[in-house]
Chain A
Amino acid sequence: MKESSPLRIGMPLPRLGRLAWLATNTVVLASLLAGCATPPPPAPVRYSATVVLLDNDDGTTGKVHVSGSGGMTVLDRSHEATFIGSPTGTTFDLNDGQLQKDFGPALAASPIPPTHFLMYFDFGSTKLTAESRALLPKILDEVGKRPAPDVSVIGHTDTVGDDPVNEALGLSRAKLVADMLAAGRKIEPSKIALESHGKRNLLVPTPDKTVEPRNRRVEVTVR
């Protein structure tokens, strides 16, 4: 804290009541705390910010809405860029060379994208179908490719049976798959997150009390 601080930590104590002292002390402490959380930049620094839209991994291109003092600008073409705060609609294209020059390390640091698997079960049971059992080595390969994997395992059921039964069945299915993954010894069990959605999150929408093999599943996401 600089000498110009208006808080004057060294103010003689006797002139203040104990209550006032406590309050002052508290404010000083609080402002110190707040100051630690986000060190204020030297006052006159101004920033410029550039946003560049990129292709998604599946080849499609999304959209971003950029809002600043100049209004709102929409980017919807690959490599289209804008300075945040520039007048609405002011965009330019950034070529690959410049993109790599400016963003190379951030792009290179991007983790392996998450991979998803669906495993299916026999009716009312925790018995995996033969096809789904055969997926296990592929899932373990994906786990093994990652230096620090974490996995989410979500169990689901079809709409036959009541809620408590399906919640429990979904969890049993998830647990079975989680145990199989843990047995592969490529991931710490603490990095496997288990959940049951019972019949609340159908892959194929059906009425209640409907047999639907595609809803009896476990979703595995390897991150």
Chain B
Amino acid sequence: MAMPTENTRTDGPPIERASRWILAAAVTMAIASMAMPATAETAPQDEVIGYVKTAVPDAEVVAAMNTSNTATTVKAVPGTPVRRGNSLRTGPAGSMGVTFKDNTIISIGPDTEVSVDDYLYEPSKGDLKLGASIGKGTMQYVSGVIAKLKPEAVAIKTPTGTIGVRGTKFVVKVEPTP
């Protein structure tokens, strides 16, 4: 780790403090990003990849950690954008449905948490990927263009294993065992 050198010191204390702060922030972000789920490098994190189409409260869209170190949670209503890395979360009476750019549909029931870890849809470049994880609850998946063009690029993870899709519709339920 490089600390400010003699050269930077000649610029005076405020700059030294500032550069230290920047260093600390950079290291923090680097470590935090290592701890976060891997996402596609080629596409921006904030790109809208789908929209909430149906929602019954409590339902929310949770953004992964951003550069200002805060997770943002927005109430899900029809029209709420969903971005790569977002999680879909519902309470005991909630449900919601999302349609993605490639026409993949994910809908979830109550007490559910699903994160969309990976999403790439650039058919002209052959960049196709859909990775989602269900931590708990119930979910229906209806495949879209990504699964049609490149089935092996779709993976739905659960705490006990992975579902690979071959162009299809299925439901999955994850619950704690007694």
Contact = CB atoms under 8 A, between A and B. Distances in A.
Interface residues of A, number: 65
Given A62-B166, A84-B163, A114-B99, A109 B173 contact: no
B105 A113 contact: yes
A36 B159 CA distance: 19
B38 interface: no
Contact of B174 (A26, A49, A63, A103): A49
B158 A47 contact: yes
Contacts of A69: 160-161
A110 interface: yes
Interface string A154-190: 0000000000000000000000000000000000000
A34 B168 CA distance: 34
A102 interface: yes
Interface in A118-160: 146-148, 150, 152
Interface in A16-61: 19, 22-23, 25-27, 29-31, 33-34, 36-37, 45-57, 61
B170 A52 contact: yes
Given A26-B31, A75-B170, A108 B95 contact: yes
B177 A51 contact: no
B140 A150 contact: no
A106 B108 contact: yes
B51 A56 contact: no
Given A84-B158, A105-B109, A106-B138, A23 B176 contact: no
B53 A105 contact: no
B27 interface: yes
A109 B174 contact: no
A201 interface: yes
A61 to B, nearest CB: 7
Contacts of B163: 51, 64-67, 84
Contacts of B161: 49, 66-69, 84-85
Given A106-B138, A109-B54, A114-B103, A54 B171 contact: yes
Nearest to A50: B173
Contacts of A214: none
A45 B177 CA distance: 7
A213 interface: no
A141 to B, nearest CB: 17
A111 B176 contact: no
A62 B147 CA distance: 11
B173 A103 contact: yes
A122 B170 CA distance: 42
Interface in B50-74: 51-56, 64-65, 69, 71
B35 interface: yes
Given A22-B24, A47-B158, A109-B97, 12 more contacts: A29-B28, A30-B35, A48-B160, A54-B169, A62-B165, A64-B165, A67-B161, A84-B158, A106-B139, A111-B105, A113-B103, A223-B103
Interface of A: 19, 22-23, 25-27, 29-31, 33-34, 36-37, 45-57, 61-69, 75, 83-85, 99, 102-114, 146-148, 150, 152, 191, 193, 197, 200-201, 221, 223
26 contacts: A22-B20, A22-B24, A29-B32, A30-B32, A33-B28, A36-B65, A47-B160, A49-B134, A49-B161, A49-B173, A50-B172, A62-B143, A62-B165, A66-B163, A68-B162, A84-B158, A84-B162, A99-B171, A102-B171, A109-B55, A110-B142, A113-B142, A147-B53, A148-B51, A148-B52, A201-B124
